[in-house]
């Protein structure tokens, strides 16, 4: 290990990792309050300590990505780094979900041996997990109320300030939205993506409507159903074809991402095979996967609680399973990116790009 003055110092593995502190942090409450400690309390403590360590790493990664995009001029090289770090978060999330399987080796009766010693502690009091949610962009108005209290009511004033500062200044959602709004390829010369996309949607819908109406094997009732499922430019696509409709949906809370950012995300998804757009596509894909995996983790957590406790009240006073299950359904952050799939059209209908724009989006080389 190099020191500031250029000399080298040695360090022991145990000292570097501060294992005395880490391995000395598992204190069984049942060992203080019972003659015979509950064997499985050790597993319960270790699992949750490991969760907190992984939350710390996730915060480290998300903070760095937000900082990369917290500028009006994002260094394109940083997009690759951001994709790698978000992929690391995804791998950590996979571990978090798998840890539930380890915790489920604890039976309901085993858990009841020491559950009474946990009151009123609760996972809801995990400051780091609230920080992860805030860094991603989960707003207070989008949260499910916990015991009719603010989500940060369990924390001290300094921690509350940290959470509020993240939401007030910059989250991953905010940073990515701003970055998307600056996408330069929505209008280049005579090419206007929205106009080309609108025409493609109309052609696609007319073609599919015609195929349904001319079908020989569908009944009139089935044709009517298929036509309703297909939709029109006034149903599935109106939020992207009409900026005023999009604005009204934001007012109602049905959408959150700005109109221009949504249009840019759609362009990236549609033309994702163009070389310059491949890394932005991977970035958006990783963000969606992070959102999905936290939903999966919340759902698996709720199922584990149902298995262990049934309908018992949580140690922190929540409704237990019902509360946890509700958060899995509601606490999506990047649902706008999921909705982009509704707006996609078949590859065969994608408008061709002008030659000059295609060159800008590719790895074009000339010695002229």
Q: What is the dihedral of CA 190, 193, 196, 199, to 10 degrees?
A: -140
Query: Are 144 and 323 in contact, with CB atoms under 8 Å apart?
Result: yes
Residues 118 and 155: beta-carbon distance below 8 Å? no
What is the DSSP code string of 162-231? HHHHHHHH--HHHHHHHHHHT-TTSEETTEEHHHHHHHHHHHHHHHHHHHHHT-SSS-HHHHHHHHHHH-
Tell me the two tokens of residue 236: 């599935």
Residue 209: phi and psi, rounded to 5, are -65, -45
Q: Is the pLDDT of residue 48 over 80?
A: yes
- The more confidently predicted of residues 74 and 284 is 284
How far is it, in rounded angstroms, from Cα 165 to Cα 175?
15
| Short-list 129, 211, 130, CA closest to 164 | 130
pLDDT at 308 over 90: no
**Per-residue pLDDT tens digits for 6-47:** 677 789 999 999 999 999 999 999 888 767 889 999 999 999
pTM: 0.89
Mean pLDDT across 329-356: 91
What ranges do the domains of the chain cover? 13-360
Percent of the chain with pLDDT over 90: 58
Instruction: For residue 124, give the DSSP letter.
Output: G
Please give the CATH architecture assigned to the domain spanning 13-360. Answer: Up-down Bundle (1.20)
Cα–Cα nearest to 333, from 48, 137, 104, 198: 137
Listed range (108-122, 179-193, 248-262) with the worst mean pLDDT:
108-122
pLDDT of residue 344: 92
Query: Coil, strand or helix: which one is 245?
Result: helix
124-130 mean pLDDT: 92
141: which 2 tokens?
A: 């108005």
Look at residue 32 in the predicted model and tell me its pLDDT: 81
């Amino acid at each position: 290990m190099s020191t500031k003055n250029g000399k080298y110092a040695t360090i022991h593995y145990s000292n570097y990792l501060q294992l005395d502190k880490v391995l000395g942090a598992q204190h069984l409450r049942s060992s203080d309050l019972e003659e015979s400690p509950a064997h499985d309390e050790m597993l319960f403590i270790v699992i949750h300590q490991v969760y907190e360590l992984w939350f710390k790493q996730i915060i480290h990664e998300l903070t760095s990505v937000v900082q990369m995009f917290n500028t009006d001029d994002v260094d394109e090289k940083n997009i690759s780094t951001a994709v790698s770090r978000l992929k690391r978060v995804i791998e950590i999330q996979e571990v978090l979900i798998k840890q539930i399987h380890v915790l489920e080796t604890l039976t309901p009766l085993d858990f009841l041996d020491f559950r009474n010693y946990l009151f009123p502690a609760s996972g809801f009091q995990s400051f780091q997990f609230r920080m992860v949610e805030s860094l991603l962009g989960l707003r207070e108005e989008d949260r499910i109320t916990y015991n009719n209290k603010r989500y940060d009511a369990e924390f001290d004033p300094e921690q509350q300030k940290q959470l509020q500062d993240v939401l007030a200044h910059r989250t991953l959602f905010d940073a990515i939205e701003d970055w998307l709004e600056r996408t330069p390829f929505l209008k280049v010369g005579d090419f206007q993506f929205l106009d080309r996309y609108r025409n493609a949607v109309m052609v696609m819908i007319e073609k599919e409507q015609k195929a349904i109406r001319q079908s020989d094997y569908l009944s009139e009732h089935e044709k009517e159903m298929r036509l309703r499922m297909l939709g029109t430019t006034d149903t599935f696509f109106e939020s992207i074809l009409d900026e005023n409709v999009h604005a009204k949906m934001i007012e109602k809370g049905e959408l959150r991402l700005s109109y221009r950012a949504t249009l840019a995300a759609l362009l990236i998804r549609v033309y994702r095979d163009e070389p310059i757009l491949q890394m932005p596509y991977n970035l958006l894909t990783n963000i969606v996967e992070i959102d999905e995996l936290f939903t999966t983790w919340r759902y698996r957590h709720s199922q584990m609680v149902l298995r262990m406790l049934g309908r018992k009240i949580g140690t922190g006073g929540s409704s237990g399973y019902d509360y946890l299950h509700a958060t899995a359904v509601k606490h999506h952050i990047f649902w706008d990116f999921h909705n982009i799939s509704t707006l996609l059209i078949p590859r065969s209908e994608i408008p061709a790009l002008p030659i000059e724009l295609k060159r800008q989006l590719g790895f074009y080389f000339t010695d002229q």
